[in-house]
Structure 1
Amino acid sequence: MMPSSGSQLPQSSIPIYTTVAAYREWRRKAFQEHKTVGFVATMGALHDGHISLVKRSLTENDLTVVSIFVNPAQFAPHEDLATYPRTLPQDLDVLSAQSFTVSSRSAEGSVVRKTSAVFLPTVPEMYPSGISQDTVMQKGTFVEVKGYGHQMEGQSRPTFFRGVATVVTKLFNAIEPTTAYFGQKDIQQALILKRLSKDLLLSHPDPDHIKIVPTARDPMTELALSSRNAYLTKEGHKVAPTLREALKAAQTAWEQGATKAECVAKAIEVIEHTKARVASEGTEVLMRLDYVELNNSDDFEIIDAQSRKSEASLSPVILSGALWVDKTRLIDNIILGDATSIIA
């Protein structure tokens, strides 16, 4: 069923909307019926991490909308926009298989909730003024959350959060969700979006209805699930969990009273040990640490090198890192302190 234009779209049991106008007609009916709408923003190539967000939305909302849009504005010119995995037919099949049954004592019996709509816009639909990966060449309206996007991930990807803030503002305006769901793996992104919602006085969603859901992981290795994991070779998959192991080593040191500098050193030690083992085995995989850092969760400022757990602020601390495995960049994080104030 495809209520909107798009002759090349695959068949799906889920209504697909490729234009804002077509989607808004559907959304207007939901408003009139006083139904809540949960929203999961994705770039496709869906995995269990995305599905955990969809399942959360199905349990908490009358209707659930998933967007699939590979956003050019959050890719720097040298990054992988052209090769980013695009698996629309499989994505639609996976979404169609998700459901949640709501028990009811009414005469109508139980209600089965499934994904209600997929928003699948084109690049011109999302960027009417055009878009370039080169920020110098860009024209039109863009959104920047100043002071919160240059640390952590922003230090390695300086234009990333500008692109994210811009596209999510557009998606929030189009979808008008009651509640939106984001994964903890992208913790800085999710917290920036909560601040964006607060600063721009958004009502759909308001900041209290942007929920951060725990990172979905491989049950055997604890590797954080990501669409980019598809780039990993067989040997790369074997060493990819090293980042998680490194962060856990730093977490243990922090809980035992070590300084921030000592915690980071513990994480680096784990990575260097794996690199040495890989080299001794003659395995053809390259590992390069991008960063391991501890930041305040409220403003992302870096924790002082000599700070300890006992001296940290009342706000939770974000322990995060990024690791290159061959040409695949992996990210992960652990919340140190009361994670319930951040994670839904």
Structure 2
Amino acid sequence: MIIFDKQTEVKAYLKPFLQDKKTVGFIPTMGALHEGHLSLMNESLKNNDYTVVSIFVNPTQFNNPEDLKKYPRTLESDVEKIKTLNPKIIVYAPTVDDIYEGKTVSKSFDYDGLEFQMEGKHRPGHFDGVGTVVKKLFEIVNPTNSYFGEKDFQQLAIVRKLVQKNNMSVNVVGCEIFREANKLAMSSRNERLSADERAKAAIIYKTLAEAKKLFATKTANEVTKRTEKMFKNQSLFELEYFEIADEQTLLTCKRKSKNKKYRAFIAVFVNNIRLIDNISLK
């Protein structure tokens, strides 16, 4: 299995494939890999000649230093999981200096307003950090296709806008949310939950499913108020936000329109561990 930690090396290795017009699939990750990540890799393996996975905990997208400090770093076990899936997958696991070249700061990006909604409201600077590292990784790997899970639906929209505004020739592929048996969206942060917390966190998806059912006959505002009221009675969970938004603009739905697609978004704290999820309301 081939593992690189320097961008110069991975660029040199991939260059002949790109010159031969081979297709390269790319999955950028922050490690602590789970079945959701592996499902993205499987999509890439099915549809590309070569697959590259990056493992890099990006410091500039964390607005909470404690969250960055506690984020799981499991490179050795991550590599073993990838090797078990397919040993031909190419791994790029750079250092912070290799990516940022001594200047660990994010650039500023304009995503036509997508960055000011939901996650952007609650995590200042987060999407500048995301844009900085994704653009850099795309420039290093030059992928044909890049795969992102829809759990981070706003991030997926941001990356698509990044590619569009920078005229990058990357096809950004969104993949369905991979869920645990109790429907909790798979996340590296789930590993920090106790067994009891993990089981009870099933309420997050149940809330979204109920919102989808209610949205058929209720207004977005009514659904939101019901959800917020329900979480006030939950001692284990702290609701950061619940929003019903237009899938294209991510603007909060004020009045339903038949010509638009809507999605419900949620962010919840469980013992200071932040979990997000979403569901299509069509």
Q: TM-score range by the shorter chain?
A: over 0.9
Kindly indicate whether residue 221 of structure 2 is the aligned counterpart of residue 261 of structure 1. Answer: yes
2:249 aligns to what?
299
Q: Which residue of 2 aligns with 1:162?
A: 128
Taking the TM superposition and a 5 Å limit, the aligned residue runs for 1:121-270 are: 121-131=94-104, 138=105, 141-203=107-169, 205=170, 209-219=171-181, 221-255=182-216, 257-270=217-230
RMSD: 1.6
| CA displacement at 1:65 relative to structure 2 | 0.2
Match of 2:261 among 316, 320, 329: 316
Deviations 1:135-175 (A, max 9, x none): xxx4x745443521111111111211110011000000001
Alignment of 1:48-67 (within 5 A): 48-67=35-54
Are the aligned partners of 1:245 and 1:270 in contact in 2 as well (CA < 8 Å)?
Answer: no
Structure possessing the higher radius of gyration over alpha carbons: 1
Q: Which of 93, 96, 99 matches 1:120?
A: 93
| Inter-CA distance 77–258: structure 2 relative to 1 (3 Å threshold) | closer
Change (3 A) 1:324 1:27: same
Q: Deviations over 1:251-304 (max 9, x none)?
A: 10012x21011211332344345x2xxx6xxxxxx3110011011111111111
Q: Which amino acid aligns with 1:118?
A: V
- C-alpha change, 1:174 and 1:313, in structure 2 (3 Å) is farther
Q: Which residue of 2 aligns with 1:103?
A: none
More off after superposition, 169-178 vs 153-162 = 153-162
Unaligned runs of 5+ in 2: none
What's the secondary structure of 1:97's corresponding residue?
helix
* 1-structure distance, mates of 2:190, 2:231: 18
Secondary structure of the structure 1 residue equivalent to 2:73 = coil
CA distance in 1, matches of 2:230, 2:113: 32
Q: Who is 1:33 aligned against?
A: 20
1:68 aligned to 55, 62, 69, which one?
A: 55
Amino acid at match of 1:26: Y
**Alpha-carbon separation, structure 1, partners of 2:60 and 2:240:** 22
Is contact 1:322-1:330 (8 Å) kept? yes
Residues paired across the two proteins, number? 282
Q: Normalising by structure 2, what TM-score? A: 0.95
Q: Which amino acid aligns with 2:263?
A: I
Q: What code does the residue aligned with 1:197 have?
A: V
Checking the alignment, whether the CA contact within 8 Å between 2:242 and 2:267 is kept in structure 1 is yes
Question: Which residue of structure 2 aligns with residue 325 of structure 1?
Answer: 270
Which consecutive segments of 4 or more residues in structure 1 shift more than 6 A? none
Contact 1:18 1:120 in 2 (8 A): yes
| Equivalent residue letter for 2:51 | T
Task: Verify the 8 A CA contact 1:72 1:81 in the aligned structure 2.
Answer: yes
What letter is aligned with 1:325? V
Displacement of 1:76 in angstroms is 1.3
TM-score by length of 1: 0.78
Judge conservation of contact 2:247–2:261 (CA < 8 Å) in 1: yes
Shift of residue 57 of structure 1? 0.5
Shift in CA distance, 125/49, structure 1 to aligned 2, threshold 3 Å? same
Structure 1: gaps of 5 or more residues: 1-13, 100-113, 132-137, 280-285, 338-344
Q: Percent identity?
A: 35
In structure 2, C-alpha distance between the alignment counterparts of 1:123 and 1:254, rounded to whole Å: 44
The one-character-per-residue Cα deviations of 1:104-124 (angstroms, maximum 9, x if unpaired) are xxxxxxxxxx54311111101
| Higher RCO by CA contacts (8 Å cutoff, separation 6 or greater) | 2
Q: Distance in 2 between matches of 1:196 and 1:66?
A: 20
Q: In proportion to residue count, which structure has more helix? A: 2
